[in-house]
Amino acid sequence: MEPTPASEDRLPQQEVKRLVQEAMTTKGFPPVMRYPEAVRGDYLLSTLFSWPILVWVPERLQPSMKPFCTISGCTCTPRVKEYKQRVVEEVDTKCHLLYVKYQCTGANKIFFSTVSSAYLQREVRLLVHFPYILTKKFGLSKEVMELVQEGVLSPHGLTSTVENMKRRREKRYYMLLSLFADRVRQNQLGNPTYMAPNPPIVAQYCSKQTQLGRRHCLQRGYRFLKFGVLCVR
């Protein structure tokens, strides 16, 4: 089983499908994080404070742009079962990870996703470019895990690691708030009657960006040190 994001944290399913299909038809590999502040054109100012999105489409590496089956010796063309999403942790923000779940069309009929260990371990370049450590309960970027590892090995423990992540997330909030204020000003220059929406306050933003607790950091850091990169179906 893969963790299901809380309903308020989920992207609309049609948007997930659209973004994955868009990445499949463009240069979607290696993946590049889509930050809301990088969006051009008309958009809702409130979306500045939404989570970044990373679309994982390693299918782009295949000449047919179709995934390979994870069953050894099976040459079938798997069919799309579902467009999936998970919430994962970067150092300075949470983000949406989008990918596809498939079903073998051969005799086995098994299900697998392109973030499963069975898929990633088939090619070294997939492991190189996949930026997350995934288990059934959590998803962390490799950069987060490096910080956790340093904290586990440090005589100062993980307290500084957790505080560092908190500061990074607050810093991102104030950067987004500055962009918000600048874009409001630009809109008001063009339309003096423009009424801007209220941005979230830092407490509201950070409540949805709650960084890892010390105990969870320790558990996850220990698993990383003991088992290395973990991936699950």
Assess if residue 143 is contained within a domain: yes
Indicate whether 154 pLDDT > 90.
no
Look at 135 and 116; give whichever has higher pLDDT.
116
Number of domains, the chain: 1
Contact 119, 174 (CB under 8 A): no
- Token readout for 95 is 């983000």
**Has residue 233 got a pLDDT over 50?**
no
**Can you give the pTM of this predicted structure?**
0.88
Quick check: 227 pLDDT over 60? no
Residue 170 domain-assigned? yes
pLDDT bucket at 117, cuts 50 / 70 / 90: very high
Assigned domain for 132 exists:
yes
pLDDT tens, position by position, 19-56? 999 999 987 899 999 999 998 766 678 899 999 999 99
CB-based contacts of 22-27 (< 8 A; 24+ apart in sequence): 22/55, 23/55, 23/57, 23/60, 24/57, 24/59, 24/60, 24/65, 27/60
Higher pLDDT, 225 or 132: 132
Q: What is the pLDDT of residue 130?
A: 97
Nearest Cα neighbor of 164 from 212, 128, 114 is 212
More confident residue, 193 or 9: 193
Instruction: Give the pLDDT band (50/70/90) at residue 224.
Output: low
188 in a structural domain: yes
Residues 57 and 59: their CA atoms lie apart, in Å, by 5
pLDDT of residue 90: 95
Tell me if 2 is assigned to some domain: no
- pLDDT tens by residue, 68-106: 999 999 999 999 999 999 999 999 999 999 999 999 999
User: Average pLDDT of the chain?
Assistant: 87
Percent of the chain with pLDDT over 70: 86
Q: Tell me, yes or no, whether 233 lies in a domain.
A: no
Q: Are 134 and 141 in contact (CB under 8 A)?
A: no
Q: Which domain holds residue 136?
A: 7-227
CA distance 100 to 98: 7
Residue 232 falls within a domain, yes or no? Answer: no
Burial class of residue 139, CB neighbours in 10 A (0-12, 13-18, 19+): buried
The pLDDT value given to residue 231: 42
Phi-psi region of 85 (alpha: psi -120 to 50; beta: other; left: phi over 0): beta
In a domain, 122, yes or no: yes
Q: What is the DSSP string of 61-74?
A: GSTTS-PPPSSTT-
Predicted local confidence at residue 108, as pLDDT:
92
Give the pLDDT confidence score for residue 184 in this predicted structure: 93
User: Which of residues 183 and 209 earns the better pLDDT score?
Assistant: 183
CB 114, CB 229: distance < 8 Å: no
Residue 215: pLDDT band with limits 50, 70, 90: low
